[in-house]
Amino acid sequence: MPLKLHVVVHGAGPAFIREPGCPCARCAEPQLPEHPSPQDMADLLAWVRQAHTAASLVIEQDGVAIDHTLIDIGMGVMNNLALPTPAHNQPISRLLVTHGHLDHIAGLDGLTHSLEKARQAGDFAAGEQPWPLPVFTTRHTWQNYIGPNPDNPAKGGFMRWSHERMQFEDLTDAALSLSAVELHPALLVTPIPAEHLAGSVNYLFEFWPSGSQTQGDPIRVACCWDLHHFPAGQPGNFWKGVELDPLSGALAEKMRDLSLLLIEMTHWRPGPGHISFEGEPDGYGVRDLITAWQPEATRIMHYSGWNDRHLPDGTWTRGEAATRNVNPATGPVSDHHLRRALHAALDAPSNIDIAQPAMTLTFG
Ligand SMILES: [Zn+2]
Ligand SMILES: [Zn+2]
């Protein structure tokens, strides 16, 4: 039986999801009309279940989940970890961390704690839950944001007190050489250096439904968050001397033939820290990456809507951070609104949508 790959989005929210008391649609609870449309219900469910950006890659064999890679775990993700395939108590084979911002790691302590309790309670079959939990990331992210720092024991990461529940797997060298690391005989990951926070990486996965890397073509899934730009050899950036041009060269070559691109887009117009739909005049944005890579499907992650205003004439402007889209006439930008704008801005019919918690795409 061929294997299947389920890509499950647990959360697609950026760091600042809701501001108590803010009347904008991203913060205030949606009010359902008397006869809600399917879109009204989808918006309400998305609001209720907003969680930080995280996803799982689950390999299924004969109807059973046999391998589970979790990518990032911020706040609100734990509640969403239900998977589409039966598995005895849903073990987690490994965690991949993109970077050390809390909207990507804040749930890690709770995750390892609950896995440890389940192990002690005998909830897992022998060997079913790898322990300590393998945590794949760069050395910089591990030592500065997650685990202990051997160079400075008084410092280190937010989870350093419970490092015995985690087994660090270093992806730094693989990122520097853009080489693949085997996670499962049917699943490889290539970490891609990303400029966002020091030590950031994105991930490219290759999955063989045949179960063998020598039989058939792989299904390719890219997780591009959080990202401002790929390294450009600038000495002031983290990945000094590394140059990756996503529009041509080795990285562009790797990103062709994607079955699925999960990509962040924190704003529509260029802003600090994160890639936007429109790039700077001398740079590139999400639109340029989609156009160059031509993925079969794209799902937008990590959209904040903050500072974005889509004016009635179809133009986008940047609002003032202090007012946060509270003007109902021009903002905020709802998922529904954003979806329409994306479809209008890209060649139709692009398979592009806004990622929602519990969204599952199955391949193989
Ligand atoms: Zn983030
Ligand atoms: Zn971040």
- Ligand at shortest distance from the CA of 304: 1
259-299 confidence digits (pLDDT tens): 999 999 988 888 788 999 999 888 999 999 999 999 999 99
Q: Which ligand is nearest to the CA of 302?
A: 1
**Structure confidence by residue, pLDDT tens digits, 233-267:** 999 899 999 999 999 999 999 999 899 999 999 88
CA–centroid distance, residue 103 to ligand 1 (Å): 5
Listed by start position, the domains of the chain span: 4-363
To the question of domain 4-363 being in CATH 3.60.15.10, the answer is yes
- The pLDDT value given to residue 99: 97
Residue 52 alpha carbon to ligand 1 centre in Å: 7
Average pLDDT value for the chain: 86
Among the residue ranges 46-55, 107-116, 192-201, 327-336, the one predicted with the least confidence is 327-336
Contacts of 67 (CB under 8 A, 6+ apart): 58, 59, 93, 183, 184, 186, 187
Give the closest ligand to the alpha carbon of residue 14.
Answer: 1
In angstroms, rounded to a whole number, what is the distance separating the alpha carbons of residues 12 and 331? Answer: 20
Q: In angstroms, rounded to a whole number, what is the distance separating the alpha carbons of residues 74 and 61? A: 29
State the virtual CA torsion across 337, 342, 343, 349 in degrees, nearest 10. Answer: -140
Distance (angstroms) between ligand 1 centre and the Cα of 65 equals 28
Q: Residue 322: what pLDDT? A: 32
In this model, does residue 324 exceed pLDDT 50? no
- What the block records as the tokens of 20 is 């108590």
Mean pLDDT calculated for residue range 141-168:
93
Higher pLDDT residue, 242 or 321?
242
Both structure tokens of 72: 């990032």
Closest ligand to the CA of 51? 1
Q: What is the mean pLDDT of residues 322-329?
A: 38
CA of 74 to the centre of ligand 1 (A): 9
**Residue 186 binned pLDDT confidence (cut-offs 50, 70, 90):** very high
Ligand 1 centre distance from Cα of residue 33 (Å): 32
Residue the block writes with tokens 């469910």: 45
pLDDT at 207: 98
Mean pLDDT score, 339-345: 87
Ligand nearest to the CA of 228: 2
Q: What is the pLDDT of residues 46-102, one digit of tens each?
A: 555 567 899 999 999 998 889 999 999 988 787 767 666 544 467 899 999 999 998
* Tens of pLDDT, residues 19-43: 555 666 556 666 777 887 777 766 6
As a whole number of angstroms, the distance between CA 25 and CA 58 comes to 33
Q: What is the arithmetic mean of pLDDT over 2-19?
A: 82
pLDDT computed for residue 37 by the predictor? 78
Q: Which residue has the higher pLDDT, 345 or 304?
A: 345
**Å from CA of 226 to ligand 2 middle:** 5
Residue 174 pLDDT exceeds 70: yes
Number of alpha carbons in the 13 Å side-chain half-sphere of residue 141: 30
Phi and psi, residue 65, nearest 5°: -70, 125
The rounded percent of the chain whose pLDDT value lies above 70 is: 83
Confidence of residue 166 (pLDDT cuts 50, 70, 90): very high
Q: What is the CA radius of gyration of the chain?
A: 20
Cα(344)–Cα(125) distance, integer angstroms: 50
